Amino acid sequence: MKKSGLLTFLIFAAMIAGGLIGEFVFYEGVSGALSEHWTKSAGEILLIRPLMLLIIPVVFVSVIVGVTSIGDPTRLGVVGGSTILYYLVTMLISVTIGVTLVSTFRPGDLPAQEQTQLTTEAAQHYESSEIKATIDTAEQEERVSLTRAFLEVIKQLLPRNIIEEMAGNRTLGVIIFALLLGLALAAGGEHTLPAVRFFEAMFDALMRLVLWIIWLTPIGVFFLVAWTVGNIGFENIIGPISKYIVVVLVGLAIHGIIVLPVILAILTRKNPFRFMWQMRRALMTAFGTDSSSATLPITIECAVTEGGCSKRSANFVLPLGATVNMDGTALYEAVAVIFLFQLYGIDLSFGQLLIVAITATLAAIGAAGIPSAGLIMMVIVIHAVNTSLAGTGKELPMEAIGVVIGVDRIVDMCRTTVNVWGDAVGAKIITRIAPDDPEIEDVATD
């Protein structure tokens, strides 16, 4: 068996074994001691931390290499513009799928008894969750409004201290700085060439590091899946909440298995499922870690070495994508918020559904690529809809989020996989505009 085949097999086996062990050995109930179980720490120490260690160096170096290899600022403008257009269009499509499904199947319209059961339990889950503290602080500091959230993103786009941004793991600022430095290095010509070569060599070295760390994936994924399933338990996804989970998963499947592949096939004339297979290690890591940022080093490695993406495209599209392009999160935000309004008996007008669609997209752009980031950003969407309902006495209480907290990790695994898949499809599409070697790219037929 080839090395990559063995690794795929090990990650897959680890997922299944983790799920089974979680369900049959560790499961103790939703609010039991499992929320801080040792399996979670083991997964974090063995996989998440080593991957996190690589994020900032990989983002910094890969964006510089991407920009210097594109070189010409006009060309960079075309690549950047097309990338952002791709991000926005695909996120809006995924949100539309979410809004349509949730409004058609109405998972929140449950029999009165189940409705009361879910909303009563929600309050308890919310009170005892770590997320409550984060949301409370955000509310106190008035950070839940859309304007404030926007301001935060703008601040990150204009960093004042790059070391501070790096230390705070805020990739947006690092990307901006790397972009500017890359442009300056490209403009420097012969004089700055040694530095360009230095970053290219650094990029190769970092990819070697990723190739070593990737072997930790099976073991890390095993512990993380065991913890997730042990913490939630298959039983709890079968209850009244199951309709909501099914709507999110069907939406994600439509977007990930139909929409994105169709876009990819039309724009590149390549087999999208072959590309999906080439990206499998990144997709499985995303599923196991719930984090597009932690997966980023592996996404870049897969895209460049196996997926036939150019460095010019992947090094630029993927780091930015891991931060801002979240198709899965956008869809999930829309479904979850509308579901909660349905559950609490509040009907939303077309205008309010539009508010959800727009704010869900913005919330997904602002969400960090870490576990449960989408759950916290949901506050912004709820807040925006509540503002439009002000005076009607029909606002959604924040504790409603407690309804979905319990099963969020499972949903997060799936939406993160779609997030990473959306980035990879973007990198493949942009490879057409920015191939590393135009002649090779033109004859390539995968």
Q: Which is nearer to ligand ASP, 196 or 338 (CB)?
A: 338
Determine if 419 is a binding residue for ligand ASP (CB under 6 A).
yes
| Contacts to ligand ASP from residues 335-364, by CB under 6 A | none
Query: 305 exposed, middle or buried (CB, 10 Å; 0-12, 13-18, 19+)?
Result: middle
Which one-letter amino acid corresponds to residue 12?
F
- Return contacts of 106-115, CB within 8 angstroms, 24+ apart: 106/342, 107/243, 107/244, 107/246, 107/247, 107/339, 107/342, 108/244, 108/338, 108/339, 108/340, 108/341, 108/342, 108/343, 108/344, 109/342, 110/240, 110/243, 110/343, 114/240, 115/240, 115/343, 115/345
Q: Is residue 426 involved in binding ligand ASP (CB under 6 A)? A: no
* 3-class secondary structure per residue, 190-202: HHHHHHHHHHHHH
CB 409 within 8 A of CB 231: yes
CB of 252 to ligand ASP, least distance (A): 11
What minimum distance in Å lies between the beta carbon of 103 and ligand ASP? 21
Alpha helix positions (H), 37-72: 38-43, 49-70
CB of 435 to ligand ASP, least distance (A): 28
Instruction: Find the shortest distance in angstroms from Cβ 250 to ligand ASP.
Output: 17
Shortest separation between residue 131's beta carbon and ligand ASP, angstroms: 11
- Round to whole Å and give the CA distance between 231 and 229: 5
Inter-residue contact 227 to 40 (CB < 8 Å): yes
Task: Convert residues 370-389 into a mask of x (bound to ligand ASP by CB under 6 A) and - (unbound).
Answer: xxxxx---------------
Name which of 159 and 374 has its Cβ closer to ligand ASP. Answer: 374
Q: 93 or 183: whose CB is closer to ligand ASP?
A: 93
Q: Does 409 bind ligand ASP (CB under 6 A)?
A: no
Query: Which two structure tokens, joined as six digits, stand for 253?
Result: 């499947």
Binding of residue 329 to ligand ASP (CB under 6 A): yes
Question: 307 to 326, contacts with ligand ASP by CB under 6 A?
Answer: 326
Q: Which of 119, 231, 278, 291 binds ligand ASP (CB under 6 A)?
A: 291
Name which position in 369, 422, 426, 435 contacts ligand ASP (CB under 6 A): 369
SS3 label, residue 247: helix
Give the nearest residue (CB) to ligand ASP.
Answer: 374
Farthest CA pair distance, the chain: 74
Q: Is residue 119 a contact residue for ligand ASP (CB under 6 A)? A: no
Q: How many residues bind ligand ASP (CB under 6 A)?
A: 16
Q: Which residues bind ligand ASP (CB under 6 A)?
A: 290-292, 326, 329, 367, 369-374, 412, 415-416, 419
